[in-house]
Structure 1
């Protein structure tokens, strides 16, 4: 769902549930625009974390290491050694149907399944938002929204970082939903990033965008938003990587996950012919639901509205 929300131990809904994919209108004033994007250059790096490394500290330090104001990340392989996390839960009433569970901990090494992260700033300080899934020694799969205190396991963690010099990622409380969420803010060529004292590369900044980082607001259909982002950026073909967020349940081509919210540990896919009359968008992902269950699948087209926010990263491939 989002980063920075308060947790709750409420387990069962006190209001009627709706079908997966039913959009939610939040209690706060609706914000606009509904899709907020920043085109950017992009450099790719690999972060290797040894056993015992503090995940959040390492991700946040990467902003300074690569002198950028925003990074999107996807985890490639490895283990967690200790995990602190929450997962989606039912909210207190029909006007606020989404919340989080109380915090849970896993103290034994677990194998990474999927994980994605947004790394930026909150109140001027480095901050990150991480969703993940893992498999324990008992073979059970779990997942959720990770909390500070999470550590790399015995085999470490390998993480793919996409450093974005032209997108300042800032987490603020959203008045529409009441949750915190990241949004991209374009960095002008004359602007020095919050994490760098070096002058910007004006020649590089003038090159066409290699990627777009986007915040998608509640109710927007996920695959339609992906296509709109590509069309606006002028991308005809693109790939979706290192993306995370929530939808109102999940509607897959071969099943569903329950309403009112699921969190994506990752979203991947392709867009072809975006500028044509017959565009093709294919998206797949893995979600964590209100029961803490993990479900992967291919997304049914035009069926998955965003629940609270979606942090989308799209790279040009044409």
Structure 2
């Protein structure tokens, strides 16, 4: 049974429930130099690439020192959830990580969830603070450059948060054929159902999927369920939607107690808590 009833946001339900901008995505390669903050290094990449937005994988990136937060209970009645205290780390290597890159007040900004191995504390997961993470050694990575729209930090009346929401970029460059879409899902939208329906509606029936967000609990095919209605979530490498099957969405979650959950999401059993940001790219 869905755990959606466990979360009630402070504001009235907003519309639409799925914010979608179609456009063109292409694979691009990038380098992050040693010694820069993650935010500064990524901003430099974006200026050089010349796209409107991007979603990149950061698997294998070495960082340190670095700061991060985990999901936590809200300290007031203004939000259903909040962030933990800031945790400090000396050195780590990301096992898997995804960064959504867009704009905040006109400047480049990124939202990154990851799971990593810390040299002292072992396995960790959460929300990396991009201006407080140092790239520990030079890194070569790949991701999707997207044109036609941009993830833009936007106030949301329902949740009382400000977070990435896709907006259209008029007269965008580098669009020859639409083959992708950037998406944000509103609270209580089921993750797997949304991905399946959007891929069909947009004609992206065989698509790679990258994304991060939060869920109100989750059930997995062959692994223990996550009961917590508050979480930070990362879609793992290989997530995709096929034309005839339920979406394959391997997912990693961390709850406020620091418990980890990992597995293939069951359709109808993973409603969004605050938001979920995605890119779907036709294969």
Tell me what 2:126 maps to: 144
Quote the residue 2:281 is aligned against: 315
Counterparts of 1:217 and 1:95 in 2: how far apart (Å)?
17
Please state if 1:153 is matched with 2:136: yes
Asked whether the 8 Å contact 1:223–1:302 carries over to 2, the reply is yes
User: Which residue of 260, 271, 278 corresponds with 1:294?
Assistant: 260
Tell me if structure 2 keeps the 8 A contact 1:90–1:260. no
> Match of 1:252?
220
User: Which residue matches 1:11?
Assistant: none
Q: Given that residues 71 and 118 in structure 1 are in contact (C-alpha distance below 8 angstroms), is that contact kept between their aligned partners in structure 2? A: yes
- Which residues of structure 1 form unaligned runs of 5+? 1-17, 192-199
- Alpha-carbon distance in 1 for matches of 2:158, 2:185: 13
Are positions 1:40 and 2:23 aligned together?
A: yes
* TM-score, normalised with respect to structure 1: 0.81
Residue from 4, 7, 11 that aligns with 1:28: 11
Offset of residue 206 of structure 1? 4.8
| Count, aligned residues | 280
Shift of 1:19: 8.2
1:163 maps to: 145
Alignment TM-score, normalising by the size of structure 2: 0.91
What pairs with 1:98-137 in structure 2 (closer than 5 Å)? 98-107=81-90, 109-137=91-119
TM-superposed CA distance for 1:307, in Å, is 0.5
Compared CA separation, residues 32 and 20, structure 1 to 2 (3 A): closer
Q: Structure 1 residue 83: deviation in Å?
A: 1.3
Q: Which residue of 1 aligns with 2:242?
A: 272
The match for 1:223 among 189, 192, 197 is 192
SS of the residue corresponding to residue 219 of structure 2 reads strand
The one of 168, 173, 180 aligned to 1:186: 168
Computed over aligned residues only, the root mean square deviation of the Cα atoms, in angstroms, reads 2.2
Deviates more, 1:257-266 or 1:19-28: 19-28
**Residues 24 and 176 of structure 2 are in contact (CA less than 8 Å); yes or no, is this contact kept in structure 1?**
no
Deviation of 1:308 (Å): 0.4
Q: Which residue of 1 aligns with 2:43?
A: 60
The aligned residue for residue 250 of structure 2 is 284
In structure 2, distance between residues paired with 1:140 and 1:217: 33
How far off its partner does 1:42 sit? 1.2
Q: Give, in whole Å, the separation in 1 of the partners of 2:160 and 2:218.
A: 22
Indicate conservation of the 8 Å contact 1:80/1:157, yes or no. no
What secondary structure, in the 3-state scheme, does the structure 2 residue paired with 1:239 have? strand
What is the rounded CA distance, in whole Å, between the counterparts of 1:280 and 1:259 in structure 2?
24
SS at match of 1:235: coil
Q: Secondary structure at the match of 2:192?
A: helix
Is this contact kept in 2: 1:21–1:247, CA < 8 A? no
Q: Taking structure 1 as reference, are residues 21 and 176 closer, same or farther at Cα in structure 2, changes over 3 Å only?
A: closer
User: Does the Cα contact within 8 Å between 2:3 and 2:271 map onto a contact in 1?
Assistant: no
Q: Deviations over 1:185-244 (max 9, x none)?
A: 1223x35xxxxxxxx35xxx352x211110111000000110121112112211212x11
